[in-house]
Amino acid sequence: MLNRISEFFLSANFFLKHNNKFAHSSYNKYKSVINRNSKIMDLKGDWGIERVEEYLNQTTFPLRLSGITSKGYPTVFSLWYLYDKGKIWCAVQEDSSVANILRSNNKCGFEVGPNASPYMGVRGKGHATIIPEKGAEKLEKLIKRFLDDTNKDLGNWLLTRKDTEVAICIEPIRIYSWDYSPRMK
């Protein structure tokens, strides 16, 4: 019951109806939603939250994760990811550049999408947390998802380093989806 009440008060229609300065703005098209982890995030684009979550759960393109270096420059990393209950999970070595960058500044951007048509995908921004105790668990799930039985040598080598693996947990605050496939037929 509380979740339904929260969804109503957080809906874009309620916001637009009760805030006149944005009522006719075409620039404010984000819709606040509650994801499966009961967190509030802004959603915009071609898909609703159910389709976004389905895409993130089924797609096996690497995630492009951006962070800000200590010198203030953005940098991008391609990482395997899992989507689970409103959070995006990755695994990296504890002393990796990406882990160090996110420890210094947890604000990040991300994108999951193909490099070929039809162009569609999900991008957004959020906050990343490094969680050492979940590193090995997430690594094993990532190997199963992205390698399965296709490259056992790589999977076995990655598992030899699982004791120094850390998890990255990204909590999205804004998600944008796009789907150009109807135009590209």
Residues 162 and 72 in one domain: yes
Q: Note the pLDDT of residue 36.
A: 52
- Contact assessment for residue 173 and residue 93, using Cβ atoms and an 8 Å cutoff: no
User: Same domain, yes or no, for 90 and 24?
Assistant: no
**Residues forming beta bridges with residue 40, ordered by sequence position:** 34
How many domains does one find in the chain?
2
140/79 same-domain check:
yes
**C-alpha count within 13 angstroms, C-beta hemisphere, residue 40:** 11
Which structural domain, as residue segments, surrounds residue 63? 45-179
Give a yes or no: residue 165 inside a domain.
yes
Q: Name the one residue in this structure whose structure tokens are 């550049």.
A: 97
Tens-binned pLDDT, residue by residue, of the chain (185 aa): 444 433 433 443 333 333 333 333 333 455 666 555 556 789 999 999 999 999 999 999 999 999 999 999 999 999 999 999 999 999 999 999 999 999 999 999 999 998 888 889 999 999 999 999 999 999 999 999 999 778 889 988 998 999 999 999 999 999 999 998 777 66
Cα gap 107→128, rounded to integer Å: 6
**Rounded to an integer, what distance in angstroms lies between the CA atom of residue 135 and that of residue 114?**
26
For residues 164 and 94, membership in a common domain is answered with: yes
Q: Which of 113, 105, 107, 138 is nearest to 63 (CA)?
A: 113
Do 14 and 93 fall within a single domain?
no
| Phi (first) and psi of residue 39, to 5 degrees | -105, 145
Q: Which CATH number fits the domain that encloses residue 92? A: 2.30.110.10
Contact (CB, 8 A) for 75 and 66:
yes
Determine the pLDDT at residue 23. 32
pTM higher than 0.85 for the full model? no
